[in-house]
Structure 1
């Protein structure tokens, strides 16, 4: 064989080998399909209270969070729904010794402001008194210095009576004595005596059925959990867990949580009617008391969604992330948005955690999705409203692989559902002007026979048929045909939203052209599920520079067809 022919032959062989390897990659990733049947006979949690967060008022005074500032915070909390809120209480807020408590202090009014929101939303509040033995939690010269002091329990009973019976904060359903007592108190016997004292104080005031004791609130000490269960006094079992990235990725977190719940159910005959609560949820990698170096990253959102899915799969009835808001503690940066000094800027992980809070409703049954892969996890929530006669489903899929995974989810015995799809991925986390998640598509599917979805690598995908999910105001019937909607707003400045519908799973290209036919920006190029999809154009060109005012052509191409619409940018 002559040299030139041999070179051509070798090049062809290399091309064939390359194409074969690409095909193998696709078969292993994008084309991987797993049928998942929801086992409705075996819920992992029969009475889910919800996902939530730690929301403390401690440093709101130091940051000078005004009522106007608080209106923005309230708007975000209301969007989330915040089914569960763990809130700090301190004797420092109003205790004046000799059992006297001043309920009219600035600190107490800042606490009331939080509780007002929770009461209006119907949130379940876990009120945690952070203790008296570390000094900073009590006023100088306090006459209460020990957790087992009966005066401490009496003051707690009095302020709970005031909050619940006088001010009407019936949202306070659980009380926690001392934050992480294995560290803050150290002695289990002294803490247990304090719990017993508080129990008596609640009974004396007739509060024992209005607010239940939760504990042990331990962190990194399983022995405290087991001993707390054996006290036979707690109405719920809660703990803190800052898990490593490796433990979350491997699924070890689910095993850890499951073991705690198994112990409770084995040693407490009434445990099935109680809650297992993750009181503080977070990532230990990069963590210090006040900061986590990963908190601003996209990956933190994926990791925390994975954390949430594993806890719910293991039977937890409530998961509270640490934490909601950086204004809660001076110079802390664990929150979902920055403090007032930094302009209340939302962080990326707000997107998935807000959707978890908003769409996994209180009263839902939770089902673990068995995908057949340890790096592809998910849960389903079934929520029924007997008053309205409605039944709805919410699904969360977390893909820890780097390749797209396809699933067909089937719910036997159920029919059609209009499901809004939200996607948190490196290339898609669409939000509105408030920073709140926007659905990328609407799927009209029969979940009884199965709904097929493609979940990109390193992403979190939500499907929800719950009412009030912020679904696109577009008829699901429009998803039956290829259609390009008029962008909104139009005219626009600086950004506009583009929506289109695809009748089948297809490869699409969405581009913006100027009137000369030059490509200004490629907004999307790739495969999408059937349904209605949303993309936002920020008005910039391919180099990231702002495009000038004028008329632009938006062009959608799919399956040999092309549709266009005109968009007008104004200065």
Structure 2
């Protein structure tokens, strides 16, 4: 081979390397343009362990402290907390109302939220009995109990009130009857006015309908419920909320941004919308392999039949999918998202009070040892890592900034500003590493970098994330390699 051939071969090779390198580069621009101002926050569904005593053990002081340490790191901005009244103020044996009944665990939860300035969306899954769904006696009990929590006990964290969980569903006592839901909300509103100051402190959240579901008994799908509620009840609704359980392919393909936009388009100016519950379900055809694995894990499981669970919350990839959904929510102009759910120890299917078919969705099961004879279930699962970061560093009051990038490359990102400081998060759900050129709105000092990779998830002794780098100075641009199937978060927020 002569010199000319050698040089030619070398040049071609360098061009190929350069092209390959160029193909893996991705420019991300974060501007000062605000997508959502006054973001409420990211958080979880955290219900007050209604069934724990029925299962055989209440949450111990030691376990409460374990929970609080984990939540202290998360610094959630938003919690959805729902009760089942037969485990609380309504005794199904006597039919009597007792507002002090089984109050301890709910009080402990709400006190934590009050002390940490967490916005709480509180409510009831259903009336004490389904026969009460349109009865004034339920309205009277429920509002008196709400007043007890807010005015008597001082749980000022409660800002929003849900009167029925997912009223569009055929599993709800309303069975998709919009007119029933509307009439009951108006009756609740009238009752709240009888308690001094209550309706000034607490507003309604609604309609609490489920995306990608339509009850045959109802003329409306979730978007229809939202639209009708804005027409009929906007003066009563303080915040709009819907529930979302997309499939993995639906979100990873970028399709879900359109779906979120379709449900937001009716929201009046000046009002906010949040995802009151959110997680992943794998019943769609595109997720059939995940569903197959789900079913395999359910078979013979000692404490769930999988009726209402996500058996894949143990997996590394769930720690990519949840922040990805969160990014789509933030970039879509929503104001918050509550992941369903914090803890497996909160519910059984149908709220049966039995442990044979629990709802397994959490970041752990705090009663793993006491009730389920499996201490390993109390350990932190991988998705806590990324979700805690998305909660901690997009605090209440943040402004979500416009982020621009090529969404066909498998990388998604979101950014925020809080009191003059910034946060940037990105996830790569593709199979190739990406070289990111990130343009930020300002120069940043004392920046920390967190990394979530399958073989690299740095934590402290408590299992909380720790940054791989601290004290960084970013002059307005930042370059990094975002590995395939990984997540990063860059911030100078304390």
Normalising by structure 1, report the TM-score: 0.71
Match of 2:118 in 1: 123
Shift of 1:123: 0.6
Shift of the 22–334 alpha-carbon distance from structure 1 to 2, 3 Å rule, reads farther
Q: How does 1:387-466 map to 2 (within 5 A)?
A: 391-412=420-441, 414-442=442-470, 444-447=472-475, 449-466=476-493
Distance 1:111 1:264, change over 3 A: same
Please tell me whether residue 353 in structure 1 is matched to residue 350 in structure 2. Answer: no
Pick aligned residue for 1:377 from 407, 412, 417: 412
- In the TM superposition, 1:513-532 aligns within 5 A as none
Query: What is the CA-CA distance between 1:28 and the residue it aligns to?
Result: 2.0
1:387-409 Cα distance to aligned partner (Å, 9 max, x none): xxxx2111111112222223333
1:493-526 alpha-carbon deviations (Å, 9 max, x no partner): xxxxxxxxxxxxxxxxxxxxxxxxxxxxxxxxxx
Distance 2:402 2:95 in 1: 48
Q: Is 1:319 aligned with 2:337?
A: yes
1:210 correspondence with 2:201: yes
Asked whether the 8 Å contact 1:60–1:110 carries over to 2, the reply is no
- How far the C-alpha of 1:411 sits from its partner, in A, is 3.4
Alignment partner, residue 151 of structure 1: 137
Do residues 169 (structure 1) and 155 (structure 2) align? yes
Go from structure 1 to structure 2 and tell me whether the alpha carbon gap of 1:325 and 1:35 turns closer, same or farther (over 3 Å shift). closer
Higher relative contact order by CA 8 Å / sep ≥ 6: 1 or 2? 2
The answer as to whether partners of 2:89 and 2:145 remain within 8 angstroms in 1 is no
Structure 1 counterpart of 2:73, from 62, 71, 79: 79
Q: How does 1:288-327 map to 2 (within 5 A)?
A: 289-327=307-345
> Aligned residue for 2:301?
none
Give distance in 2, aligned partners of 1:24 and 1:410. Answer: 22
* Deviation, structure 1 residue 17: 9.1
- Alignment check: 8 A CA contact 1:99 1:154 kept: no
Counterpart-to-counterpart distance in 2, 1:430 and 1:446? 22
Which residue number corresponds to residue 59 of structure 1? 51
Aligned pair 1:278/2:275, yes or no?
yes
Compared CA separation, residues 324 and 116, structure 1 to 2 (3 A): same
Aligned alpha-carbon RMSD (Å): 2.6
Gaps of 5+ in 1: 6-12, 133-137, 266-270, 385-390, 468-571
Which residues of 2 match residues 28-67 of structure 1 at below 5 A? 28-29=23-24, 32-36=25-29, 38-40=30-32, 42-56=33-47, 57-61=49-53, 62=55, 63-67=57-61
Tell me, in whole angstroms, the C-alpha distance in 2 between the residues paired with 1:376 and 1:174. Answer: 35
Alpha-carbon spacing, 1:427–1:17, altered in 2? closer, same or farther (3 Å): farther
Q: Which has the higher helix share?
A: 2
Structure 1 partner of 2:260 = 257
Greater radius of gyration (CA)? 1
Of 328, 333, 336, the residue aligned with 2:346 is: 328
- Distance in 2 of aligned mates of 1:212 and 1:262: 21
Q: Which residue of 2 aligns with 1:510?
A: none
The equivalences for 1:10-21 within 5 A come to none
Contact in 2 for aligned 1:147/1:191 (Cα 8 Å): no
How far apart are the structure 2 equivalents of 1:126 and 1:191? 18
- Alpha-carbon deviation of 1:22? 6.1
Match of 2:239 among 236, 240, 253: 236
Aligned residue pair count:
431
Q: Which among 143, 150, 168 is matched to residue 182 of structure 1?
A: 168
1:104 to 78, 86, 100: 100
Q: Of the candidates 171, 174, 182, which is equivalent to residue 192 of structure 1? A: 182
* Distance in 2 of aligned mates of 1:68 and 1:207: 35
CA distance in 1 between partners of 2:272 and 2:89 (Å): 31
**8 A contact 1:368–1:378 mirrored in 2:** no
Bigger proportion of residues as strand: 1
Secondary structure at the counterpart of residue 311 of structure 1? helix
Cα-to-partner distance string for 1:322-375 (whole Å, 9 max, x where unaligned): 000111124222001134223211111010001111111100100131112332
